[in-house]
Structure 1
Amino acid sequence: MADTVAYRPKAGDIPTLPGVYRFSDASGRVLYVGKANSLRARLSNYFAPLRTLHERTRRMVLAADSVDWTVVGSEFEALQLEYTWIKEFDPPFNVKFRDDKTYPYLAITLGDPVPRVFITRNRKIPGARYFGPYTKVWAIRETVDQMLKAFPMRSCTDSTYKRAEQTGRPCLLGDIGKCVAPCVGRVKKEEHKSVALDFASFMGGNDSRYLADLTTRMKRAAAEQDYESAARIRDQLGALEAALAKSTIVLHDDIDVDIFGIAHDELAAAVQQFMVRGGRIRGVRGWVVDKELDLDLGALVDTVLQKAYEDAVPPREILIPELPDDSAALELLLTRLRGDRGETGRVALRSAQRGDKAALALTVATNAHNALVLYKSKRSGDFVARSQALADIQEALGMPEAPLRIECFDVSHLSGTNIVASMVVFEDGLPKKDQYRRFSIPESTDDTQSIYQTLSRRLANVDQETTRAGDDDQAVKKFAYRPNLLIVDGGQPQVAAAAKAMADAGVTGIQLCGIAKRLEEIWLPDSDYPVILPRNSDALFLFQRIRDEAHRFAISYQRQRRSKDISSVLDGIPGLGPSRIRELLRHFGSVKQLRAADAAAITEVNGIGPALAEVIHRTLRA
């Protein structure tokens, strides 16, 4: 492999100024767009020796045929130009968004002479003010139905409105009090627009002020014995309180903030956005990002915010899980998108550390994590996707047939103690949990020797489908049947250890490979270069899911062993029975914290006196 690519520009030709660069292929298609404070420093990373590059970066550099750049005046201008080029060229190696929904919004056409409120997915209506997005259309319909009782404005179509004007007869909504019927002159258009402005102000977060005003007006009308007006205002209050009951108060009622949660792994990221207006969650949005290049959390935040506000107005405060390197320039860009000038309208990016906002940010992050798990489960559970994944694995590894039975092995230990290994089984791309196996390893020098011992024990029974149980000769499944593919968690050293175990056991006809977590590459025995699967392929998703399941199963067994290990140590202490041992572990939460505790801390546990605490402390330290 050559040290670098032929189109590498001379270092002296690349400016040290901020700018935006583009990698293009031979046909002129833009493959990747990026920005830099110093173009020379950033591009030099791409033209380092190819063997040192991240695998996905190497694929992009090798696929490209040229690189060009544009110098700009500041980091902010670079951010703007990068955003424009990504939208224009849709480069395949930039982040891909999988927002498979067009979210519904509540729109009020305040720019019209007779404003209308309605539900739409079109974000480009001139003069309209939008609220949302919402995840469910029915939820908006319920909200509008309640709100029209308090703000009886027009919600009919243009054709219905014109027909009512021509006939002089309002529609049903006008007859039942959910519209003030400007179409037939019951109110002037100016009065109707005032109702629409109140509707928009209330939805914009001024609910507490409006409720207080209505309450004052109702009491004044009652004091003046205008009971008809008081009753009408009372009904408005009831409708508004019913509408507000559908959205939970999460923060102080004067807080407007967007909160982002991001959960990501090597292949994908799930994003959740909670829109809080007036202290209430007014909208929730979620989407999935496919990661072509290796991006850290800060770079993901940068890209996600540009996506989120490409057709929406940002609030003055945005909470994110991590501040990106160019946060100052990003704040300036979002402020420009907001259209405000001056310090009072400036958008602030923050990462909440404590308090109610931090608690809500944790909830958003949990939603993002669940969304990522659901996305991967759905993708792995789809029959067509599983079939394609198995076919792609067969082709990538050069197997004679698709691997209908796959076994994956992982090793877990705690600083070389309580060494265990796991074997998980997938058949037709689905887990067979009744055939999972756990291995206890008494002694091992490192992970490769642990892999060798585990595979040796498995391969000793590779052709033994059943064992006998009892005198009735009832067959009991042990390892079922031969796998088509064995996977070990690790790179070349782990694969070499597994191959040695296969050779020593005299087992042939089974494909072996390893998956290295850092770059998600697939290693084959006696190969100097890994097999690289496309980042968005179903095959790589299946490999990752199998590896993660083996890791989870190994970790759970290792924790169980640790718990039993500490319990056996504590069992030998006089006066310490099972109930007190459980109370100790429950109080400290983990074996590590219990070992680190001093005698005084141990005495805080119910039923543990100073003398017994001292004995426990000495025993654990010994």
Structure 2
Amino acid sequence: MTDKNDSLSNPSASGASAQLSARKIERIKRELDSVPALPGCYLWKNAEGEVIYVGKAKQLRARMRQYVNFQDDRAKIPLLVDQIHSFEYLVVDNEHESLVLEKNLIKQHAPFFNADFKDDKSYPFIALTKSDVFPAIKYTRERHRAGTRYFGPFTDSRAARNLVDIARRIVPICASSCADWRRLSRSLERSDGATTASSRPCFDCHVGLGPGACCGRITPEEYAENVKKIARFLDGQHREFVDELSREMAQAAENLEFERAARIKDRIDTINSLTDKQRAVSSHALDADVVGIEREETVAGVHVLMVREGRIVNSNEFVLNRGRDVPDEDLLHMFLLRYYDATTSIPREVVVRNMPEDAEVMGEWLTGKLSSAHGAKVRFVAPKKGERAELVELAEKNAKHTLMRYKVRTNYDDKRINEALMQLESALAMDGPPYRIECFDISTIHGSYTVASMVVFTNGRPDKNQYRRFKIKTPLSEANDFLSMQEVMKRRYAPERMADRRFGSKPDLIILDGGKPQLNAVLQMFGEMGVDDIALAGLAKRDEELFVPWQNAGPVVLPGGSASLYLVKQVRDEAHRFAITFHRELRGKGMTASILDDVAGLGPVRKKALLGHFKSFKRLKEASLDDICAARVVPNEVAEELFAVLRQYNRDVAERATDASGTADGEE
């Protein structure tokens, strides 16, 4: 922490650090010349030798060069490159192998810059111990073991436990928690698989949850059929299951086995009651996982809807430790790797908002995990309309609530704001945290309708009652943001305004949208006014750099992804929004009034009647000559004059928009 602060306040230390960084990058570039142009995975390491990022590539050399040449525009890249000291790489035969290797390397090293689950606890699964002679079902959080099949993960532990109970009521199967099953398993291990059943049934067998393996009521072959049925049920194949049970019930009734038929009917009713609670989302048997993502700053909520046979049978929610600091495709890629590495419930479709770059390779990997007997393949779908698109919207809505619940549970907003204020205090060498921040922005078009906005953030949050907007009174023949900003500073920080309670207390920090030129203009005005007790910073738009009066060597660069950077950007964006809204409002009113005043024979009464008939100036300027005449508000000759003026006005507006697209301050 000390070294960082010293570099911010000491220009020579900052320059030396920059020279070291440049030499390091040149060294890495030379070393990259020996990297092959083959598919594989690369591992970036820091000075301590720790792996900080793992990625895959079709061509290793080209992909790795993008980092050190800063050709990758992701926000995290400058911070990542600053920490890179060395690298390793592993060559594979194809892109599919690189995907699997990437997944394993991330699991092994848990790199800081790769997205991962925010909550590092183990998620619950439902497991079948298939390596046993009589496999048992269990609820577990254990790491995956060989010889056990896992269903999940579940983020709702209660739902997972309930599903175990429901599955056992539908198809009797032993539970790993049963003492008699454990005794039987130990006995079978000692006797090399020879059945040594007890003569007394266990409690689960008495109540119909167990098939009686402990007392010899079922053979291993018959039990294996029950295990297959349980697996199909946990995979979500409920409809096929009901059809099979219905046939068994009919056969039992035909054989006059009415008690057995009644037990089967109870199982069918249990499945139907479960299905009734599930939301039907498709008219056909859709088998898909629908992924919705909601991002904020450095966290993201992910919600997965598991749709089987056209119904949502389960949903899982996760919080990732990356948000807007990484691109959408990176976040999605890392989540899919982590999620489908853990789950064995592979759908036929994965429905997402935007198609992943490596969708084909990811699909091949999941197809291999699906291992369909019918040769079914897993495909990725990014729908634009229809029921799949509606499902994506539903998943995203739930992801938003996932993130909201996490933030409330962890006091995320309060922690981030406190962290941001402390970081700004340190980076800008302030005497205390900037509890009150005022930010200013100018909006104009060729010097016309020039306005300024003042937004206020109190304790890191927007304080909209304190927002103010200014009409610039200085005569301007063309856009001059510096004169405009000086006028605003003079009006806002004049002694009478500083004493006005309606403007609130004196700010701890003033942020000027526009960088160093705006800062110099305000410093000149403050010098004339005698204001020297308020911290100032000019925010450059392009690189999000802060220019401060006390540092001439260069700007203060807040770390990418830091809480302070996000707060500064939020303040700046809010000032921009507030300024441009006021500018457009004034421009619209001014243009409407002036254009109608230019029409001979159109007085206040007729003007009001015309706008009343067409409801708005927008509809009036789009009206044809016949429409204006049909309104019967003005004589035909006035209507013709009005139509000609409006037509010329529309042409002028189109030309102004074209000319101003590259020069208008604050225009989108």
TM-score between both structures, scaled by the size of structure 2? 0.73
Shift of 1:397: 1.0
- Secondary structure of the equivalent of 1:367? helix
Distance 1:161 1:81, change over 3 A: closer
Task: Please say if 1:364 is aligned against 2:384.
Answer: no
For 2:130 and 2:70, how far apart are their aligned partners in 1?
Answer: 59
Q: Which amino acid aligns with 1:574?
A: A
Distance 1:610 1:495, change over 3 A: farther
Equivalent position of 1:473 in the other structure:
none
Q: Which amino acid aligns with 1:460?
A: A
- 1:413-438 per-residue CA deviation (whole Å, 9 max, x = no partner) reads 79998766543433333444433334
Shift of 1:228: 4.1
Distance 1:373 1:546, change over 3 A: farther
Shift of 1:342: 9.7
- Secondary structure of the equivalent of 2:27? coil
Equivalent position of 1:285 in the other structure:
317
For 1:295 and 1:358, how far apart are their aligned partners in 2?
Answer: 24
Match of 1:128 among 142, 145, 148: 148
- Asked if 2 retains the 8 angstrom alpha-carbon contact of 1:379 and 1:385, the reply is no
Structure 2 residue ranges without an equivalent (≥5): 1-17, 185-196, 597-605, 650-668
- 1:507-532 per-residue CA deviation (whole Å, 9 max, x = no partner) reads 22111224556655444346553333
Task: Please say if 1:507 is aligned against 2:531.
Answer: yes
Match of 1:574 among 585, 609, 617: 609
Distance 1:255 1:55, change over 3 A: closer
Task: Please say if 1:23 is aligned against 2:44.
Answer: yes
- 1:527-568 per-residue CA deviation (whole Å, 9 max, x = no partner) reads 553333344544334434544555565677678778988998
For 2:211 and 2:103, how far apart are their aligned partners in 1?
Answer: 45
Distance 1:68 1:228, change over 3 A: closer
Task: Please say if 1:273 is aligned against 2:293.
Answer: no
For 2:451 and 2:514, how far apart are their aligned partners in 1?
Answer: 16
For 1:228 and 1:520, how far apart are their aligned partners in 2?
Answer: 75
- Secondary structure of the equivalent of 1:32? strand
C-alpha root-mean-square deviation of aligned residues, in Å? 4.6
- Secondary structure of the equivalent of 1:354? coil
- The equivalences for 1:583-598 within 5 A come to none
For 2:133 and 2:353, how far apart are their aligned partners in 1?
Answer: 43
Q: Which amino acid aligns with 1:325?
A: E
Equivalent position of 2:558 in the other structure:
533
Distance 1:90 1:521, change over 3 A: farther
Distance 1:620 1:236, change over 3 A: farther
Structure 1 residue ranges without an equivalent (≥5): 467-476, 586-590
Match of 1:204 among 203, 210, 235: 235
Equivalent position of 1:76 in the other structure:
96
For 1:310 and 1:366, how far apart are their aligned partners in 2?
Answer: 25
Larger Rg: 2
Equivalent position of 1:315 in the other structure:
347
Distance 1:344 1:192, change over 3 A: closer
- Secondary structure of the equivalent of 2:277? coil
Distance 1:417 1:348, change over 3 A: farther
Task: Please say if 1:36 is aligned against 2:70.
Answer: no
Match of 1:353 among 373, 384, 409: 384
Shift of 1:357: 0.9
Shift of 1:187: 4.5
- 1:571-600 per-residue CA deviation (whole Å, 9 max, x = no partner) reads 94536549x84xx89xxxxx7xx6997769
Equivalent position of 2:429 in the other structure:
398
- 1:41-98 per-residue CA deviation (whole Å, 9 max, x = no partner) reads 3344344489x98885344334333345444443334444444433333333444542
For 1:619 and 1:401, how far apart are their aligned partners in 2?
Answer: 58
Equivalent position of 1:460 in the other structure:
494
Equivalent position of 2:128 in the other structure:
108
- Asked if 2 retains the 8 angstrom alpha-carbon contact of 1:421 and 1:454, the reply is yes
Between the aligned residues of both structures, percent identity stands at: 33
- Asked if 2 retains the 8 angstrom alpha-carbon contact of 1:7 and 1:66, the reply is no
- Secondary structure of the equivalent of 2:150? strand
* Number of aligned residue pairs: 593
Distance 1:457 1:200, change over 3 A: farther
Distance 1:334 1:534, change over 3 A: farther
- 1:81-139 per-residue CA deviation (whole Å, 9 max, x = no partner) reads 44443333333344454245533233333443333333222351444333333332223
- 1:124-168 per-residue CA deviation (whole Å, 9 max, x = no partner) reads 144433333333222333444444433343346043645798693
Equivalent position of 1:303 in the other structure:
334
